[in-house]
Amino acid sequence: MTLRALISVSDKSKVDVFADNLLDLGWQIFSTGGTKEFLSTPSREIGAVEDLTKFPEILDGRVKTLHPFIYGGILARRGNPDDTADLDAHAIQTIDLVVVNLYPFIQSITDQELKLNEALEQIDIGGVSLLRAAAKNFPSVLVVVDPKDYENVIKNLRQGIVPLSERRLLARKAFQHVSLYDAAISKYLGIDMGSAGLIDMQNDLSDQMVIPVTKKNNLRYGENPHQKAALYEPLPIGSKPQGITNAKQLNGLELSFNNVLDSDAAWNVVSDFSEQPTLAIIKHGNPCGLSSRDRLIDAFEAALDGDSISAFGGIIASNRPIDRETAERISESFYEIVIAPGFDQDALGILKKKKNLRLLEMGPPTPPPTSLDIRSIRGAFLMQTPDSLNDGDWKTVTDQQPTEKELEDLKFAWKAIRHVKSNAIIVVKDRSIKGMGAGQPNRLVSVELAINKAGPAGTKGAVLASDAFFPFADGLELALDAGIKSIVQPGGSVRDEEVIKAANDKGASMILTGVRHFRH
């Protein structure tokens, strides 16, 4: 019995070699227009789909394989008497191998801004149907979507059998290929191509959510060495936020799972500060050092001074290119990663001497992403719109007004507090974090940690930011007794008046924003 293959591919890499191997094994090959033209040579006989359907392609190629002679040949259950009788009654030939990959819809819409009608023409219909039909009948029909599988399929065919387990994996891969393709179309149709530009409409928390992602690379391991891990990124449809996956690695070891998380946190922090050179040092997701200065080297020195012990082995991020002077200081200690828009040649030469130091070149910082924040819990996912840089409605509620210098530090602190894990308290002085309390179940303990870390010199005349309201006056009183002169916090506690009175009693100023910035 002659075995028949239907080949219709957009990605034609290695398909000619694959076809030659099939013909050598005695298979008969049928193809659609473009693939048939590519494969046909005087020594390689390729049949046309019309030879099977007895019907020409119509609608400018929109309809060519959608025919009972095709789908009957694919979907017929081998060994089923009723299906066999139907095939015989209608003179339908079985098809034993389907090789299809789909129109390059994703590439088409990312390479250029297509008009809607042009994009719709890149949506594959027949190919999707062929893959679904063949994958559904995988015990009898081989289905191949990935050129990387050609070699193994031919190897199995030469051995006389393709194991059911292998057939099943190929079918699974086909359904994944189709699912990703449909998800990409769904995401594209959720993009508003209006005068305001590309706007991702997937942040509407709709009833059904499809998020197309592909693996970028495997990671050495997860949070711990016994855990497997990989990095996935969304398909580039619509506006793509700048992130660690876009970085160009110039030096050092591969990134680990924890490296990616901390690098993302570090870059997010400095991207919020555009006015001045800003440098952050991240440890376990929190900025143990953060400072803005007129010169990058001064920002580094001030960030390091915030917690020089915790900074050891941390991750550095800068919103300005790394210069020679800053690189020399960085090279004096051990850090895992340095992230920056760029590195001048002198700086690169200095830092590359540390062969394990990862250097990530990001390009200029971009606005924060508008895509959904997605987190996994056991058996489900949580989704939320991002915590945007929302200043809130600032209102001074104390008798004392903040000074101009205090107001400058309060604004710095309010930007920074978004990046510290709750309950979050930070002490800021001269646009630098002097002390931090993070991740504590008790806000009072966070205040204690922050002022103890800052020390008397750091708290005297400094400001304090809290990511949420003070439930009691005790935390604020502790800060005021340590020398804090101004506070920014959301407010909203039933004891706000008590907290305001505590500030007034010490002659301190306090601003309520009306916006909370929890980060769990």
Give 69-113 as a DSSP string. Answer: HHHHHHH--TT-HHHHHHHHHHTPPP--EEEEE---HHHHHHHS-
Per annotation, catalytic residue among 115, 215, 284, 354: 284
Instruction: Say yes or no to pLDDT of 347 above 50.
Output: yes
CATH superfamily of 395-512: AICAR transformylase, duplication domain (3.40.140.20)
355 given a catalytic annotation:
no
| CATH number of this structure's domain 243-361 | 3.40.140.20
Same fold, 4-189 and 395-512: no
Q: Are 10 and 103 in contact (CB under 8 A)?
A: yes
Annotated domain spans of the chain: 4-189, 243-361, 395-512
Q: How far apart are CA 468 and CA 507, in angstroms?
A: 22
CA distances from 69 to 1, 33, 73, 85 (A): 18, 17, 6, 14
pLDDT-derived band of residue 206, with 50, 70 and 90 as boundaries?
Answer: confident
pLDDT-derived band of residue 110, with 50, 70 and 90 as boundaries?
Answer: low
CB-based burial, 393-428: b 16+ in 10 Å, e otherwise: ebeebbebebeeebbbbbbbbbbbbbbbbbbbbbbb
Q: Is 204 exposed, middle or buried (0-12, 13-18, 19+ CB in 10 A)?
A: exposed
End-to-end distance of the chain based on CA atoms, in angstroms?
Answer: 64
Task: Flag the least confident range among 99-108, 394-403, 404-413.
Answer: 99-108
Per annotation, catalytic residue among 136, 405, 460, 501: 136
Structure tokens at 170: 């190929």
Which CATH architecture fits 4-189? 3-Layer(aba) Sandwich (3.40)
The 10 Å Cβ neighbour count of residue 328 is: 14
Which residues neighbour 4 within 8 Å (Cβ) at sequence distance 6 or greater?
A: 27, 28, 29, 30, 73, 93, 94, 95, 96, 97
136 given a catalytic annotation:
yes
Q: How far apart are CA 29 and CA 250, in angstroms?
A: 47
Q: Are 48 and 70 in contact (CB under 8 A)?
A: no
* pLDDT given for residue 201 in this prediction: 44
Q: In this prediction, what percent of the chain has a pLDDT beyond 70? A: 91
* pLDDT given for residue 251 in this prediction: 95
Q: How many residues does the chain have?
A: 520
